[in-house]
């Protein structure tokens, strides 16, 4: 059951009856979920409950997985992203993704951020590109740490910095939605805090969906929390309510650590 | 009754810690209940030995208060409890203060009974009656806590209004008594302190009831009338879960 969307916000991304099969096994058994514009939604649930699989349906990352089949509709601003006419590369520019492990390209810091805007033709000339790179790194909270070594390889940064570089890379193409798949699971607590603060800042400009195994993280960063259970969304509610007074006994069992 | 008793945590130690907190709170409740009963007995029977017992128990109650608070802080720091566990911790740490205050009020009553010289001249019916009511309230509140029973908690809280009415009536009759016989003023004042203490005990017991409602239903019903409490509880959660 889904709580009425927050007042005054438009639906950005809407999943309707989404089912995902890996060969014959149903990983997602029919999910209806709406992400509002400039909202942070956390997906929580035990391992194997389908939250990452569902996240990947939102920008068609499952296309590349053999034997994976998606049913139902995913609408971005009302348009089906699985329609044959959709250019997947353009789609992923609008719906960006940050992965579990930081995965910068084996290129310089500058190139990592500049790559997307270049292939999408977002910059008119070098000066424009420089601006995009600086703005993206600033918004990712990384600029001050790397401004003097933009030509050094991105892989030479610390894990936390690499993850922020990946976020800078994701926002450089001005996406509308950012999907994050356990973005802090490989980071120490300080780096995690930085990413969480970043999420809070980014939420004023982007719609963010984040999969996390840290319930405290879900509680800290999100506006709403969706609890996934065996391929279904059991409960979606305001985060505060989910963590103090969940509606569903299964949610309660999970967040209080009583899940068998 | 609300089915709130969930299974055990994956971490059995966490379950044990929560169990220990609940048990300690109930033990503290039992002690304070005994204190209140003894204090009334000491006063009504003019029994100084029982009064001493009440004063001695204070230390044990204070010790438990600190211990439970420490346990709560520990769980908050180490387990980051959520939902029912979080509500338990919050409710317990509030109930602990109320229980400790009830212990204090009981000690005050015991102290009064030690200071009174000889028999109290006037009728103690008011004290007896109010004493009985608040004892019953406290007992029901603790029972409701032990059983996760919000309905029982509200029922107990409802008695506080009666206690307040009885308190007003008893105070008025004592004022009349002082006007009729000024020589009784000192002793009547002592009795007024006792009544005041009992009335406070009623308030604290009501606070505990409110915490039980919060614990079970997740609804903050502080400063609500009994009717408002009932309405808040009946306004069921949207989840449509079976009762």
CB contact under 8 A, B237 and A245: yes
User: A83-97 burial, b if ≥16 CB within 10 A, otherwise e?
Assistant: eeeeeeeebbbbbbb
pLDDT in tens, A2-14: 444 555 679 999 9
Residue B20 per-residue DSSP state: H
Which pLDDT does position B118 carry in this prediction?
62
When CB atoms are compared, the residue of B6, B11, B238 closest to A252 is B6
CB contact under 8 A, A258 and B7: yes
When CB atoms are compared, the residue of A215, A235, A253 closest to B6 is A253
When CB atoms are compared, the residue of B79, B80, B83 closest to A244 is B83
Q: How would you write chain A as a 3-class SS string?
A: CECCCCCCCCEEEEEEEEEEEECCEEEEEEEEEEEECCCEEEEECCCCCCHHHHHHHCCCHHHHCCCEEEEEEEEECCEECCCCCCCHHHHHHHEEEECCCCCCCCCEHHHHHHHHHHHCCCCCHHHHHHHHHHHHHHHCCCHHHHCCCCCCEHHHCCHHHHHHHHHHHHHHCCCCEEEEECCCCCCCHHHHHHHHHHHHHHCCCCEEEEECCCHHHHHHHCCEEEEEECCEEEEEEEHHHHHHCCCCHHHHHHHCCCCC
pLDDT in tens, A231-250: 999 999 999 999 998 999 99
When CB atoms are compared, the residue of A219, A252, A257 closest to B10 is A257
CB contact under 8 A, B82 and A1: no
pLDDT in tens, B188-242: 888 999 999 999 999 999 999 999 999 999 999 999 999 999 999 987 554 334 3
Say if B5 falls within a structural domain. no
Closest C-alpha among A222, A130, A209 to residue A172: A130
Q: What is the percentage of chain A residues whose pLDDT exceeds 70? A: 97
CB contact under 8 A, A258 and B8: yes
CB contact under 8 A, B82 and A215: yes
CA B82 – CA B65 distance, rounded (Å): 23
Best of A214, A257, A260 to disrupt the B interface (most B CBs within 10 Å) is: A257
* C-beta of residue B46 within 8 angstroms of C-beta of residue B116: yes
Say if B242 falls within a structural domain. no
Which pLDDT does position B121 carry in this prediction?
56
Q: Which residues pair with A180 in a beta bridge?
A: A98, A210
Q: Distance, in angstroms, between B102 CA and closest chain A CA?
A: 29
Structural domain span for residue B45: 12-234
Burial class of B171 by CB neighbour count within 10 A (0 to 12, 13 to 18, 19+): middle
Say if B243 falls within a structural domain. no
Say if B120 falls within a structural domain. yes
CB contact under 8 A, A243 and B81: no
B239 → chain A, closest CA residue: A247
Owner of token pair 């709580």: A3
Closest C-alpha among B173, B136, B176 to residue B158: B136
Average predicted confidence (pLDDT) for chain B: 90
Per DSSP, which regions of chain B are E strands? none
Which pLDDT does position A187 carry in this prediction?
85
B87 touches chain A (CB under 8 A): yes
pLDDT in tens, B64-82: 999 999 999 999 999 989 9
Average predicted confidence (pLDDT) for chain A: 92
Cβ-based neighbours of B198, under 8 Å, separated by 6 or more:
B105, B109, B127, B130, B131, B134, B163, B167
Which pLDDT does position B5 carry in this prediction?
53
Which pair of tokens denotes residue A39?
A: 């909202």
Tally of structural domains, chain B:
1
CATH number of A11-255: 3.40.50.300
User: A109-140 burial, b if ≥16 CB within 10 A, otherwise e?
Assistant: bbbbbbebbeeeebbeeeeebeebbbbbbebb
Cβ-based neighbours of B130, under 8 Å, separated by 6 or more:
B163, B166, B167, B170, B195, B198, B199, B202
CB contact under 8 A, B239 and A253: no
pLDDT in tens, A202-213: 999 999 999 999
Which pLDDT does position B10 carry in this prediction?
83
When CB atoms are compared, the residue of A235, A255, A260 closest to B82 is A255
Which pLDDT does position B240 carry in this prediction?
39
CB contact under 8 A, B239 and A219: no
B81 → chain A, closest CA residue: A256
Which pLDDT does position B136 carry in this prediction?
96
CA B64 – CA B70 distance, rounded (Å): 10
Which pLDDT does position B243 carry in this prediction?
35
A174 touches chain B (CB under 8 A): no
Domain ranges of chain A: 11-255
CB contact under 8 A, B83 and A235: no
Which pLDDT does position B2 carry in this prediction?
39
Q: Distance, in angstroms, between A41 CA and closest chain B CA?
A: 18
CB contact under 8 A, B239 and A258: no
pLDDT in tens, B115-157: 876 666 566 888 999 999 999 999 999 999 999 999 999 999 9
Which pLDDT does position B115 carry in this prediction?
85
């Amino acid at each position: 059951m889904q709580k009425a969307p927050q007042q005054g916000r438009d639906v950005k991304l809407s999943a309707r009856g989404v089912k995902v099969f890996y060969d014959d096994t149903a990983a997602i058994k029919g999910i209806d979920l709406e992400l509002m514009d400039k909202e942070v939604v956390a997906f929580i649930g035990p391992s194997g409950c389908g939250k990452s699989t569902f996240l990947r349906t939102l920008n068609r990352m499952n296309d590349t997985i053999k034997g994976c089949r998606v049913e139902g509709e995913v609408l971005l601003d009302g348009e089906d992203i699985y329609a044959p006419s959709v250019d997947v590369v353009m789609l992923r520019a609008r719906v960006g993704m940050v992965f579990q492990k930081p995965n910068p390209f084996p290129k310089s810091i500058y190139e990592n951020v500049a790559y997307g805007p270049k292939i999408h033709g977002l910059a008119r000339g070098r000066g424009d590109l420089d601006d995009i790179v600086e703005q993206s790194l600033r918004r990712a909270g990384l600029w001050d740490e790397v401004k003097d070594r933009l030509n050094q390889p991105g892989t030479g940064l610390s894990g936390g910095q690499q993850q922020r570089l990946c976020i800078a890379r994701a926002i450089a193409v001005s996406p509308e939605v950012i999907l994050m798949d356990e973005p802090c699971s490989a980071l120490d607590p300080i780096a995690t805090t930085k990413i969480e603060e970043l999420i809070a800042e980014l939420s004023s400009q982007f719609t963010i969906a984040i999969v996390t195994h840290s319930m405290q993280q879900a509680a800290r960063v999100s506006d709403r929390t969706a609890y996934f259970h065996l391929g279904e969304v059991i409960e979606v509610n305001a985060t505060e309510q989910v963590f103090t007074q969940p509606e569903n006994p299964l949610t309660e069992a999970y967040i209080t650590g009583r899940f068998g | 009754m609300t089915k709130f008793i969930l299974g055990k945590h994956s971490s059995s130690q966490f379950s044990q810690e929560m169990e220990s907190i609940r048990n300690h709170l109930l033990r503290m409740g039992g002690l304070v209940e005994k204190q209140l009963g003894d204090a009334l007995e000491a006063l009504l029977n003019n029994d100084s030995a029982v009064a001493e017992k009440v004063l001695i128990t204070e230390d044990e109650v204070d010790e438990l208060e600190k211990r439970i608070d420490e346990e709560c802080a520990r769980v908050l720091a180490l387990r980051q409890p959520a939902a029912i566990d979080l509500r338990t911790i919050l409710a317990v740490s509030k109930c602990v203060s109320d229980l400790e205050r009830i212990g204090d009020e009981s000690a005050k009553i015991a102290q009064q009974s030690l200071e009174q010289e000889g028999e109290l001249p006037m009728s103690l019916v008011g004290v007896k009656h109010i004493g009985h009511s608040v004892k019953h309230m406290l007992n029901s509140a603790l029972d409701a806590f032990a059983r996760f029973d919000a309905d029982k908690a509200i029922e107990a809280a409802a008695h506080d209004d009666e206690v307040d009415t009885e308190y007003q009536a008893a105070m008025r009759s004592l004022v009349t008594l002082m006007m009729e016989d000024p020589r009784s003023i000192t002793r009547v004042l002592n009795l007024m302190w006792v009544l005041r203490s009992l009335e406070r005990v009623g308030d604290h017991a009501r606070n505990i009831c409110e915490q039980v409602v919060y614990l079970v239903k997740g609804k903050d019903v502080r400063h609500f009338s009994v009717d408002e409490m009932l309405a808040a509880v009946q306004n069921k959660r949207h989840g449509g879960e079976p009762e």
